[in-house]
Amino acid sequence: MTYIQVFSISPLTAFLNLLVIISISHFKQLHTPTNFLIVSLAVSDFFIGLMPLFQFMLIDGCWYLGDIMCTLYQYLDYIICSASVGTMVLISIDRYVAICYPLHYSTKITLRRIQIYICLCWIFSVLFQSIVVKDVLEQPGRYNTCFGQCIFLNNYITGIVDFIFSFIAPITLIVVLYMRVFVVAVSQAHAMRSHIGSKKVSAKKSELKAARTLGVVVVVFLICLCPYYCVALTGQDNLIDASSATIVMNVYDLNACLNPVIYAFFYPWFRKSVKLIVTLKTLQPGSCETNML
């Protein structure tokens, strides 16, 4: 499974997310608060796509990069996954305000505020994961019993803390916000059937489509995230070596490959930008001013 992931899923994950990053970064018309959040998610997912390349060094259960690289791999993977979850929460908040309070969206959600929130999300991820893997950072390889091991510590206390702040809290917030979005979407569906003004109907259709897309995101996010945290709470002071953790981490990382499909492929501007990128038209002068909407 590791070899299949390294040579197929991982490159595809990195490539799809790189397309998202280039598309939004290059075209000025796509510089919106929501798209900046999508870039942040794509950056974390891009690195998630690259992380399994380190698993290629796990051959027959042996790690050949040493204790320091093992610790660095574990630490970076936790930071990236945590930032991905945090960005997902920010996206849910952004969509909640946009759909439930459209008249206040432009004043409450600005580019400047979104940039600050994204920076805080990544900073918090670094600080929080530094606490979670503190013991391993202080003494790399301290839980290895022989040469070639790369042990993942799953301390019960830190596992509970990580479970609450990286899973329970964000999932609860996301579900609550999306339930509110769902209620608004249902009311919009009723309004559409009552034959109100065509302009309003068009807006409600757009918001209903966004609500459905967010529902898919929540389901996929939960499916990909649950296995990891189920394993994380299997027992007190449970030590999971890298080969045993590969399966649950692969499911966790799969979400990074699905995110570009869910967030980007639903948007026409993404398909248009991909064509421009593939045909190298983005290298032409003034291409950043292209009308993408």
Q: What is the pLDDT of residue 247?
A: 67
Q: What is the pLDDT of residue 114?
A: 94
Q: Which residues contact 81 (CB under 8 A, 6 or more apart)?
A: 44, 48, 166, 252
pLDDT over 90 at 132, yes or no: no
Choice among 51-60, 66-75, 105-114 with the minimum mean pLDDT: 51-60
Domain count, the chain: 1
**DSSP label at 147?**
T
Q: What is the pLDDT of residue 56?
A: 58
Q: What is the pLDDT of residue 3?
A: 56
The DSSP annotation for 183-198 comes to HHHHHHHHHHHTT--H
Q: What average pLDDT does range 154-163 have in this prediction?
A: 72
Structure tokens at 271: 């398909």
The DSSP annotation for 200-259 comes to HHHHHHHHHHHHHHHHHHHHHHHHHHHHHHHHHTSSTTEEEEHHHHHHHHHHHHHHHHHH
Range of the structural domain that residue 14 is part of: 2-289
**CATH code of the domain covering residue 229:** 1.20.1070.10
pLDDT over 70 at 148, yes or no: no
Q: Greater confidence, 211 or 280?
A: 280
Each residue's pLDDT tens digit, 247-284: 666 777 777 888 778 766 677 888 888 889 988 888 88
Decide: 104 and 97 in contact? Cβ < 8 Å. yes
The DSSP annotation for 247-291 comes to HHHHHHHHHHHHHIIIIITTSHHHHHHHHHHHTTGGGSTTGGG--
Decide: 201 and 192 in contact? Cβ < 8 Å. yes
Each residue's pLDDT tens digit, 171-202: 889 889 888 887 877 776 666 666 554 444 44
pLDDT over 80 at 63, yes or no: no
Kindly report the pTM of this predicted structure: 0.82
Backbone torsions φ then ψ of 58, nearest 5 degrees: -90, 85
DSSP 3-state assignment of 152? strand
